[in-house]
Amino acid sequence: MNFIEWWNTLGGYRQVLYVVAALSSLILLIQLILALFGFARGADADVGGDISGDGFDAGGGHDVGGGDIDTPDVGPDVHAGHGHGDAGAGLRIFTVQGLISFFVMFSWSCIAFISVGMPEGLATIIAFVLGAAALLLMAKLMQLMLKLQDSGNIDLAGAAGLIGQVYIPIPSHENGIGKVMLTLQSRFIECDAITRGDALLKTDTFVKVVEVRGTTLIVEKSNAEQTIGES
């Protein structure tokens, strides 16, 4: 029996199942290959993107007090005011990876059940349950991966003594919170900051971190302009 004859013996429903199984399996294989060679970054994970807050984007320029500062693309963004990124978000079920896993599990299991003589209706129900389990399992795996990535976030305790630059003005006498930009652990980040000084620290002012209070930096004006970065 050649392929055409075999195909014609399947019936419409099983033909659809085989098409879905082949396509979803091919897409899954491509995803695995891309991930193996480092091309897949898990777009559904939402690990990268814009730094939250006031339109700052670590992958490009931003407007500060009428002037543009270009910043390098340094990978995942951090908003230190929250202590971590969005990677710790809740369970995300309907992702591309999850849906592909669902179709792979559903189609192949349904084909297997029908092939051993199970009625199509019952096979479809059981296969749907297995597919849904695969969808939830993939979502859970993605959540665990994101939590692991989130656990590797920057430790602000190491910011003491570093030089940064004011992004949003910082009121004097700890009367309000502004923002500074600095490089910590080889990553360019934006952090909440306050000052004990008598003067407002304006945008573009170079500052030195004198203390870290939770996720907020305590800064003072730096006497000399220095390159933002680590000592």
Q: Which fold has domain 65-84+155-231?
A: OB fold (Dihydrolipoamide Acetyltransferase, E2P) (2.40.50)
Task: Map out the domains of the chain as residue ranges.
Answer: 3-40+86-151, 65-84+155-231
Is the distance from CB of 186 to CB of 210 less than 8 angstroms? no
Q: pLDDT digit string (tens) for 14-49?
A: 899 999 999 999 998 988 888 777 554 444 433 333
Partnered with residue 79 across adjacent β-strands are 190
pLDDT in tens, 94-106: 778 889 999 999 9
Copy the structure tokens of residue 215. Answer: 């996720």
Nearest CA-CA partner of 179 in 50, 52, 23: 52
Cα–Cα distance measured from residue 208 to residue 201, given in angstroms and rounded to the nearest whole number:
12
Task: Check whether 189 has a pLDDT greater than 70.
Answer: yes
pTM of the model: 0.46
Cβ-based neighbour number of residue 37 at 10 Å: 8
Tell me the torsion sign for CA atoms 61, 35, 88, 230.
negative
Instruction: Please state whether beta strands 206-213 and 163-168 pair in parallel, antiparallel, or not at all (unpaired).
Output: antiparallel
CB contact at 8 A, 209 and 216: no
Burial 39-50 (b: 16+ CB within 10 A, else e): eeebebbebbee
| Residue at 128: amino acid letter | F
Residue 32 phi/psi, 5-degree rounding, is -65, -40
The confidence score (pLDDT) of residue 143 equals 76
* Residue pLDDT, tens place only, 155-188: 778 888 899 989 889 999 989 999 998 888 777 7
Q: Beta strand 216-221 with 187-195: parallel, antiparallel or unpaired?
A: parallel
Enter the tokens of residue 56.
């700052």
CA distance 102 to 96: 10
State which amino acid sits at residue 120: E
